Structure formats: structure tokens, C-alpha cells
Structure 1
Amino acid sequence: MAYKNTPNMVCMHMKSEMTHVSRNRGIDVVRVLMTLLVIFHHAAIGYGGSGGWFWREQPNASSSLLVMFNAINQSYFMGVFFLLAGYYTPKSYVRKGTAKFLMDRLLRLGLPLLTFFFILYPFTVAIAQAGQGRPLIKLWWDLIIAGKFGPGPLWFAIALLIFAMCYAIWQTCRRRAGWSAVSVDARFGVDRLGPWPALVHRTTGHAGR
């Protein structure tokens, strides 16, 4: 009788292979560098760069240098974050299963999003406007009463939640349809990302440790 790989059997094999996978320090370095770049990017907006932000020391787009800095960043840095999130999503889904995967995303993305949306967004606006002489706490409360809420920079958390739910729905439909599972590494392996994670890994002095 011929051996048949069912989706569940392949997933079990993939889970066993992922148990002792070590971290890719090169990718960790990329994530740290991109996070720092996000901080510098938004700080630049307040001092003459281009973009929307809560507070400005200089008028919007008043510094050509910072405008160029923001424009170059916008062309790639959030794309890198989404690329990394997509790279780790299949492995996380296989390891945790649908329910735990979605619950984990809701806790890690949904709770920070709700906290910022209803509490920290109006508080940040209040801080930016407190320099006009109004009491900070009263201004904050007035903004909450007025319903001045928003995702602010956590718009990306909304996008990641949508992508995660779409991925879980797609995997569930594929499993129920009886489609054979394909190795995560075959679809989303480091080789598909090109040489840059390994290059960063080497240049930061972590290779071989």
C-alpha cells in the first residue's frame, strides 16, 4: 500500500522539525535596526520632515534633508516589517494551531491597539497641546469625552491582524478541502529572502557563534 502524506501528518512532521530551531541573529539585527529607523523617522517629522505627527517644532516639509530622509524610509522600511511578519507567520501557525494562533495575535496586537486607540492616542494629543497652557489631565479627559480616538502609528497592527485572520481562514479552508500541505521552509525559507539576512549576520560579528 502506497504511503500517503495527509496534511495533518505533514504538519506534525513540520512541528517536530521546528522544535529546536535556533534564532537567526541576522534577522534580529535587521528588526532592531528597522525599529530604530522608525523612531528616527517620526522624530524627523517633528523637526521639518514630511508626514503626519502629533507635534511639530518646525513646519511640515520645511527641511529638504529631512523630507528626503522620510521619503527614502517610506519606500521600504514598513515593507521590511511586513516581510518579516509574513516570514514567521506560517511557522507560528503550524506550531500553535488556528485557535491559539489567532488568540496569540489578538493578545499581542489587539490589546496594544485598543490601549493606544482609546487611552494613549488622546493622551498623546493632550501632551502635544498642553504647551498652549491648558491642564494636561483636563485636556486628556475632554478629548476622551469628545471621542478623539485613533490608531495613530499602530495602523500597522490593524493590518497585521487582518493578514493573520486571512491567513488562518485560508489555511482552514485548504485543510478542509484536503489539499496537501507544503513544507513551510520550501515556501518561506531563508533562501527565498535572498542573501541579506546572512550578510547582516556576518557583518555584525555573530556568525559562527
Structure 2
Amino acid sequence: MKNILVFLMSLILTSCNGQEAKKPLNRTPKMDKDNLQYITFGGGCFWCVESCFNMLKGVDAAVSGYSGGHKANPAYEEVCTGETGHAEVVEIAYDPKIISYEQLMDVFFFLHDPTQLNRQGNDIGTQYRSVIFYKDETEKEKAEAAMKASEASGRWNGKYVTEITKFEKFWPAEQYHQGYYNANPNQPYCSAVVGPKIAKFKKHYGELGMLEPENEQ
């Protein structure tokens, strides 16, 4: 009888743990999905950038993809050559009532080194450039102000080389790139490069990487 009770308890605990693991980390019931705004930027390999932004309150989705190039519907292998002109980017859908453009920019400049031209660490090429895409003059001014503020903060030692350019088109990356780190945490690049960045991000922005927006009580 004792063994049966132990077995039943283990099933209950396993079930509870399984449900807890599946609970989304970044969704809030207050999110207004009818009035989401979008922002697109690149800060090196999109695996890390996408993973971190998908943890933030107010972010409905962060999608890996390509932007800033001259070829329609580019493939990953083509972008990696640097010949299409695209950068690896992440398109973020967010609720500005929960998380602001400025907060997203703060995370963006935290996650990569904006003083490195056409590279991030050992990832070298224009596809890894630091870039913010704007959709109108107001957004351009906000991006310029955010970069100026981050540079003045002394977070990174050196002059920022982040490109601020007009948005034209976002091309979603292949499906296997979406949520890549979560699906492949033990892949060599993920464990050596992406994992430590995510750990640093979580430590800086709080448990589970959740921001506490200024306008949230």
C-alpha cells in the first residue's frame, strides 16, 4: 500500500510540474492585442535577441527574421554570405501600455555591443550589424534619442555604430529558427554564447527576465 501511495504522489507531482513548465512566462491578461505596435532591430545572432524579448511583459511575440537587404524572401544560407544585404533581426509585437519603446530600446542596447561594426564577438559580417529600423520620423527621433541616451550612460566603452535606417520589409526566418534556443539549449553555440547572455539578461532585468513597466502598479 505504501508503494502505491508513493507512486500516486509522484504522478501528481509530475503532473503539477508539467503544467507549471508550460505556463507562458511573458503573457499578461491585460495585453491589448488589437492595438499592438511593432519594432524591428538587429543586434547580432537573432537566437539570443528573440529568446530574451519573448520573456518580457507586454511583448506578445518576438520573431526572428531578416531585414535591410535587397533580395525578396531570402534564405538563411543566403543571408549568411552577406551578399543579400540583410541583417539578422527580430520583429517585436508589443503593447505600449505595458512596455514602452524606450524600455525595449534599453534591453536592445543591453543585449549586444553597439560599438562593434558589422560583428558581434566572433560572429562577423554585415548580417550581424547593429541596426534599428524606423517606420516614420517620430520613431526615427525616438531611436536616435534612445541611442544617444544609452551611449551617454557609459554602458559600453566606445562610440556607438548602430545604424538607424528606414524600414522596408521584414522576412520571417525559417521555422526552425523560431524559439531556437529553447529547443536547442545544449547546441554548442547556444550553450557557449546564447545561454550566458540570457543568464546575464535575467539577472539584470529580474527573475525570468520580466520587466516591471513604469506604468504598471
TM over 0.5: no
User: Scaled by the length of structure 1, what TM-score is found?
Assistant: 0.29
Greater radius of gyration (CA): 1
Normalized per residue, the structure richer in strand is 2
TM-score of the pair, normalised by structure 2: 0.28
